[in-house]
Amino acid sequence: MPAALSVSGLNLRYGSQEVLLDLSLEILPGHILALIGPEDGGKSSLLRAINRMADEEGASYCGNILLNGESIFLKDAVALRRVIGMVPPTPVLFRGSVFDNIVAGLRLQGRRGEAELRGLAESALEQMGLAKEYAPLLGERAESLPLPAKQMVAFLRALALEPELLLLDEPARSLDAAGTAHMEEALCRIKKRCTILLATNTLQQAGRIADETALLIDGRIVEYGETAELFSNPRARQTEDYLTGRYREKVSLSL
């Protein structure tokens, strides 16, 4: 079931370095929210805060993140990751077959029944529209796959967990144009099952598939709203500068 996510007054720091500053936003169940903005603007840091990976990196927090109305900081991090899936920009696969990699997270949860594992793997393949192409590859060594296929396996591993919230950090970085189009079509179907938070450097991708978009610069939300409205009628000058490319020109001139 798609989750509702609410971030309120979130500050995140590593030692003396402030990474996120008074950040607040909401994601409705079954929606895709795109995070756009320059590199090191805070997009990845927000994702890592939501799935509590930032905890393991020594981060400190102020503010709150609610998942279905409950604070994630009151939950066990391992239990939290059973309902929050994440796909990194570069796939990390394990030794073993494609099937072993798809069900790796399920096995970590203690789910060992072969029939259940195969059923969840097949369900993930169906959701991604990859059943015909990838079913014959389940017994192949995952390490032998080309990089775009490895990224699809990382997607499948996250979906096999049946997450309520899916965090995607530049998921198309390793994909070609055809793979990106396939992924975007799949995400528009998958959002009916799980809410999606997508960090992307591609404005066109946000415009194509996101219901809402938030612009992050220097750890702050500059503007947040419906994607079509934000792109066509930005309220903040900084948003307009970023969408038109003037922001990058100003940064270049200041260096």
pLDDT digits (tens, 9 = 90+) for 173-188: 989 999 999 999 999 9
pLDDT digits (tens, 9 = 90+) for 29-60: 999 999 999 988 999 999 999 999 998 898 89
Q: Is residue 180 one of the residues assigned to a domain?
A: yes
pLDDT of residue 251: 53
pTM of the model as a whole: 0.93
pLDDT of residue 253: 44
pLDDT of residue 160: 94
pLDDT digits (tens, 9 = 90+) for 186-230: 999 999 999 999 999 999 999 999 999 999 999 999 999 999 999
How many structural domains is the chain composed of? 1
Residue 67 is part of a domain; what is its CATH number?
3.40.50.300
Q: Is residue 115 one of the residues assigned to a domain?
A: no
pLDDT of residue 110: 84
Residue 239 pLDDT class (50, 70, 90 cuts) = very high
Per-residue pLDDT, averaged over 88-98, amounts to 91
Q: Is residue 170 one of the residues assigned to a domain?
A: yes
Q: Is residue 59 one of the residues assigned to a domain?
A: yes
Q: Which long-range CB contacts under 8 A does 218-225 form with residues at least 24 apart?
A: 218/21, 218/41, 218/42, 219/12, 219/18, 219/19, 219/20, 219/21, 219/23, 219/41, 219/42, 219/45, 220/21, 220/22, 220/23, 220/42, 221/23, 221/24, 221/25, 222/37, 224/25
Q: Is residue 157 one of the residues assigned to a domain?
A: no
Q: Is residue 137 one of the residues assigned to a domain?
A: no
Q: Is residue 60 one of the residues assigned to a domain?
A: yes
pLDDT at residue 172 tops 50: yes
Q: Is residue 55 one of the residues assigned to a domain?
A: yes
Q: State percent of the chain over pLDDT 90.
A: 81
Residue keyed to tokens 């994702």? 47
pLDDT at residue 252 tops 70: no
Determine the structural domain holding residue 220 and report its residue range.
5-92+163-254
